[in-house]
Structure 1
């Protein structure tokens, strides 16, 4: 499992409005495309600079494809990265102010301290 790769996915998708929409409507295709083309790009480097070993586990892939923020949090994905991306994905589906954020928090309410380690 790579918390770094999970967080890199959340970070890079959240920074691109077109990718946010693609991830919202086609999560499986977006995760597959991102893993094949973006996962091994080194942040901040030229496009030709790549590593070769990063890949999601089956569990990570499933959680990303299913938009399962509870499972991602349990794997150590940073909660701020998850929350900001998921607000971009789903807040529009909740007409009441802060209703998505409350639902997000309620889904995590069963998790007690100590929280999963979010260090990468």
Structure 2
């Protein structure tokens, strides 16, 4: 398992409105494409430098492909990254103010301190 790679996915998708929409409508396809094309691109690198070893494990891939943010949280994905991305994708589906944020909190309420380690 790579918390770094989970967080890198959440971070990079959240910063591109087209990728946010793509991930909302085709999560499995987006995860597969991102893993093949972007997972090994070095962040903040101005040349096309790549690594070769970064891959999601099956559990990570499935949690991402099904928008399962409670599982991502339990794996140690950073809660601010999951929250901001999923707000961008799903807040519009809620009529009440802070609708998705309240749903997010409800889905994670079974966790107690100490929370999963978010260090990478």
Say whether the fold is shared (TM-score over 0.5): yes
Q: Which runs of 4+ in 1 moved over 4 A?
A: none
Alignment map for 1:1-120 (pairs within 5 Å): 1-120=1-120
Partner deviation per Cα, 1:21-41 (whole Å, 9 max, x = no partner): 000000010000000000000
Inter-partner Cα distance in structure 2 for 1:47 and 1:94: 41
1:35 and 1:56 in contact (8 A); partners too: yes
Inter-partner Cα distance in structure 2 for 1:23 and 1:110: 26
User: How far off its partner does 1:48 sit?
Assistant: 1.9
In structure 1, runs of 5+ residues without a counterpart are: none
* Count of equivalent residues: 120
Aligned CA RMSD, in angstroms, stands at 0.6
Inter-partner Cα distance in structure 2 for 1:27 and 1:110: 25
Inter-partner Cα distance in structure 2 for 1:53 and 1:107: 33
Q: Assess, with a 3 A threshold, how the Cα gap between structure 1 residues 32 and 47 changes in structure 2: closer, same or farther.
A: farther
Of the structure 1 ranges 62-71 and 42-51, higher mean CA displacement relative to structure 2 is found in 42-51
Partner deviation per Cα, 1:52-95 (whole Å, 9 max, x = no partner): 00000000000000000000000000000000000000000001
User: How far off its partner does 1:46 sit?
Assistant: 3.0
Inter-partner Cα distance in structure 1 for 2:4 and 2:22: 22
TM-score normalised to the size of structure 1?
Answer: 0.98
In structure 2, runs of 5+ residues without a counterpart are: none
Inter-partner Cα distance in structure 1 for 2:79 and 2:34: 20
